[in-house]
Structure 1
């Protein structure tokens, strides 16, 4: 959008779109907050659950798994945790795509778009202020 083409209605439209997007993002956040991924290791003797943010929310080690040497137990715990985190991430992406109908923009993309709109708005306002100043000088 060219700065000279920017109108006040454009700002209203962009603001309404931003508000709608924020509502949709809030819906997604609520759905993603309950996403849980699960993983297992040591033939099911190690079970891990992770939230969409990747944090582990549950860890269960069956007594039989304690017979493993420490290195093997650590490997099985890591494997189960990675499975849980991958599944939670996949589920979260599915929720976002289902709710938004498209991949969710990154924060950088949102920042870039906002900067473009702000720059266009400021440029348009500068041009309008110059035009007002020129009229004022011409009539004074």
Structure 2
């Protein structure tokens, strides 16, 4: 989406890039609103136990068919866990789909290798610390030369 080439930058590119940024922000805003209003559902025990969660997986609603009262407490607990887990899985999958669609619409990669990014961030941090230590040593040397 953002086709920016600094070597061929022209003043009119600013307006085009601003329009592209506005479009991306509009899409992001719409996706954020859609995620905020998302309700995902899951069920267990042949539909006797139903759960609904929001986009972050927080439980919004649990519905129990009166026939669940015939279940023993352990079976009911397992059914609740299963229904909630299914709803959370549905929410996760739907949010991932929304993010992938948003990333594709903006021209950004849908998946990022977070481990590789973290390794690069660590490497940059290490290099920065080494440079800081070098400069610190240089400053100490300069201080020693002045009375």
Q: TM-score, normalised by structure 2?
A: 0.55
Conserved 8 A contact 1:49-1:81: yes
Stretch moving more, 21-30 or 65-74: 21-30
Please report the RMSD computed on the Cα atoms of aligned residues, expressed in angstroms: 3.5
Superposed, 1:1-140 pairs within 5 Å as: 21-101=24-104, 102-103=109-110
Consecutive unaligned residues of structure 2, counting only runs of 5 or more, are 1-5, 125-147
- Size of the aligned set, in residue pairs, is 103
Instruction: For residues 46-82 of structure 1, give each alpha carbon's deviation from its aligned partner in whole angstroms, at most 9, with x where no partner exists.
Output: 0111111101111100110111111110000000000
Give the Cα–Cα distance (whole angstroms) in 2 for the partners of residues 35 and 94 of structure 1.
Answer: 12
Q: TM-score, normalised by structure 1?
A: 0.58
Give the Cα–Cα distance (whole angstroms) in 2 for the partners of residues 24 and 100 of structure 1.
Answer: 10
Stretch moving more, 72-81 or 89-98: 89-98
Give the Cα–Cα distance (whole angstroms) in 2 for the partners of residues 24 and 43 of structure 1.
Answer: 39
Conserved 8 A contact 1:96-1:104: no
Conserved 8 A contact 1:24-1:100: no
